[in-house]
Structure 1
């Protein structure tokens, strides 16, 4: 898949003002009217084009990536994710919750299953499917990728559907490791959202344990 476009000529990043999903376009326009200085668009992937690790999130948060234009930047989920990436050598610099903080990812890229912010952080199945060609192309433009980390079930399912794998064979579970095809491993984690951490469903130690396994697998 390395370096290829999808059948309809889609590249790895959606147009900033992508018009494929009417509900998401309407929500974007509403956000543009309320917050015209925000990014308000399809958030591009962020990181190392030669990455061996691809982290797959759900979708941009309204007050986070939709505001800053960088995945997981500007909300609590990013605080936990980027601190963990720095701790395990997948990033360098200082995360300051803005896109111009100079933070660099090392051997790692972050993308989302859906590139535009959905109302209430809940993309509809049709929107997930509509955004899939961009995700498929993103995978094809990472020639050295060995490991994917899915943050949450929607990201997990997007990976499996894109690769044509049966979901029943690779059930989502926090900390799970799936050998989905030769040379390609999928790890699962609960999403690092404020809700999951506030309720104790995901603790920093649980999240770090997943990255311990990933670091060990790559090293």
Structure 2
């Protein structure tokens, strides 16, 4: 499918994303993971396709990750679902009053987000969770088009990790936001306010360490750190949270 051919709604864009086969290495890996499976998931029928964003089309807060996990989103069909990263993220959103329940099991399980949308710069599971720069750039038009739909309502974005931060900056520039020079550096708690060239509403960009086990198990990112940053980003976007 061609992300340059704009569909009329975000829901149709999400459907288009799921048919993309633009990156041969990622297609091979996501489908191989679905054939081999983990021992504990032998009874699962893996999704094994690109993962669309998740959340309402009029979200005020957007969270950007990295890419689906081979036995997480690639299995369950939903971003940040089926692995420890997603367990922490959705439980935190629920605790803040931004989700209707604390766990995400699979696409279509009834989970809802309130004012929040989650998406990735790379939509397919990469080997060793490491997409290449070329794969990131090939996938970028999907994110550009997604942001076109979200721009009227989004007021805050959180980049979960340095990869997301770097992937997001050219998307925001393409959308007309004025980026400072030199380009803002990623860091946990980084906060950049971006004006739009047409004089539209400001966009608040926040940096947050990724919710991967590598960060959470070592204490680099704690639950209170994540909760505080997401609460601040949500409040900046005009959402009401439970502090």
With structure 2 as the length reference, what TM-score do the two structures score?
0.82
Secondary structure at the residue paired with 1:163? helix
Task: Tell me what 1:154 maps to.
Answer: 163
- Please identify, of 86-95 and 163-172, the stretch whose mean Cα deviation from structure 2 is larger: 163-172
When you count strand as a share of all residues, which structure comes out higher?
1
* 1:50-69 paired onto structure 2 within 5 Å: 50-69=58-77
CA contact (8 A) 2:156 2:234 kept: no
With structure 1 as the length reference, what TM-score do the two structures score?
0.90
Give distance in 2, aligned partners of 1:86 and 1:171.
29
The number of equivalent residue pairs is 214
Q: Which has the higher contact order (CA 8 A, sep 6+)?
A: 1
CA contact (8 A) 1:10 1:133 kept: no
Residues 73-110 of structure 1, C-alpha deviations (whole Å, 9 max, x = no match): 11001111001111112111342433333110000101
Q: Alpha-carbon deviation of 1:30?
A: 1.5
Q: 1:127 aligns with which of 129, 135, 141?
A: 135
Task: Tell me what 1:9 maps to.
Answer: 5
Cα distance change, pair 167–203 in 1 and its aligned pair in 2 (3 A): farther
CA RMSD of aligned residues (A): 1.9
Task: Tell me what 1:73 maps to.
Answer: 81
- Please identify, of 168-177 and 92-101, the stretch whose mean Cα deviation from structure 2 is larger: 92-101
Give distance in 2, aligned partners of 1:29 and 1:92.
32
Secondary structure at the residue paired with 1:179? strand
- Please identify, of 25-34 and 123-132, the stretch whose mean Cα deviation from structure 2 is larger: 25-34
Q: 1:105 aligns with which of 110, 113, 133?
A: 113
Give distance in 1, aligned partners of 2:6 and 2:132.
21
Give distance in 1, aligned partners of 2:132 and 2:120.
14
Give distance in 1, aligned partners of 2:228 and 2:53.
24
Q: Alpha-carbon deviation of 1:162?
A: 1.3
Give distance in 1, aligned partners of 2:145 and 2:101.
29
1:187 has 2:206 as partner? yes
CA contact (8 A) 2:95 2:102 kept: no
- Please identify, of 182-191 and 8-17, the stretch whose mean Cα deviation from structure 2 is larger: 8-17
